[in-house]
């Protein structure tokens, strides 16, 4: 018998994978479809602790300011979020507030947009507004009135894919192959 060590899917950094996937979806929608030049991990924008936002636009988005954004994924069912999940505003709004505070020191030349997604689907309110506006701009370029719906579907599918992998990771994995 051949023993094959298999990493447990539970140990994978799934939230990081999902954040990167959603960030890439937004970045591609901006650069490729909406013709808004953007850069990942911009070198000129740094928080007080040295970390950078996920992406930044290179041209103004709103009020003559470029927008920087950062994607956060929160596990709705994590023990630390159970009481917040039961509240009216939810975990995504809580995560958005925390993320906004972390990036409050960015230069005034940029607007910061946190995108906070819960693993069970909800997105923070300003994130929904940003994705909706991006969808409208995609419609303006492509002429397809369904662009906003398609963008939300792509984000939703990424969350569903994450959830299926995380769920599968709760099962035991055989370590020996016959």
- Which of the two residues, 90 and 28, has the higher pLDDT score? 28
Query: What pLDDT, on the 0 to 100 scale, is given for residue 174?
Result: 67
**136: buried, middle or exposed (CB in 10 Å: 19+, 13-18, 0-12)?**
middle
Percent of the residues in the chain that have a pLDDT greater than 90, as a whole number: 49
Query: What pLDDT, on the 0 to 100 scale, is given for residue 11?
Result: 41
CB-facing half-sphere around the CA of 80: CA atoms within 13 A: 4
Tell me if 145 sits within 8 A of 139, measured CB to CB. Answer: yes
Give the ranges where the chain is alpha helix by DSSP (H): 14-28, 82-85, 90-102, 125-142, 147-168
Considering 25-34, 38-47, 127-136, the range whose residues carry the highest mean pLDDT is 127-136
Find, among 129, 101, 110, 97, the residue nearest to 42 by Cα.
110
- Give the mean model confidence (pLDDT) for residues 136-156: 95
- Band (pLDDT 50/70/90 cuts) for residue 121 is confident
- Band (pLDDT 50/70/90 cuts) for residue 24 is very high
Tell me if 66 sits within 8 A of 109, measured CB to CB. Answer: yes
Query: What pLDDT, on the 0 to 100 scale, is given for residue 149?
Result: 96
Question: Is residue 20's pLDDT more than 80?
Answer: yes
Question: CA 158, CA 22: separation in Å to the nearest integer?
Answer: 7
């Amino acid at each position: 018998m051949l023993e094959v060590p298999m990493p447990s899917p539970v140990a994978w950094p799934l939230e990081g994978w999902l954040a990167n996937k959603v960030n890439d979806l937004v970045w591609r929608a901006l650069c490729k479809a909406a013709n808004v030049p953007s850069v990942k991990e911009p070198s000129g924008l740094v928080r007080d602790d040295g970390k950078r936002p996920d992406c930044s636009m290179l041209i103004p988005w709103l009020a003559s300011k470029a927008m920087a954004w950062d994607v956060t994924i929160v596990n709705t069912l994590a023990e630390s979020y159970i009481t917040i999940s039961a509240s009216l505003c939810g975990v995504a709004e809580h995560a958005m507030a925390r993320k906004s505070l972390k990036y409050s020191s960015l230069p005034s030349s940029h607007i910061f947009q946190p995108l906070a997604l819960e693993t069970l689907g909800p997105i923070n309110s300003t994130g929904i507004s940003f994705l909706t506006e991006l969808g409208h701009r995609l419609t303006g370029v492509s002429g397809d009135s369904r662009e906003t719906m398609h963008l939300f579907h792509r984000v939703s599918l990424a969350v569903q894919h994450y959830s299926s992998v995380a769920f599968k990771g709760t099962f035991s994995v055989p370590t020996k192959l016959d």
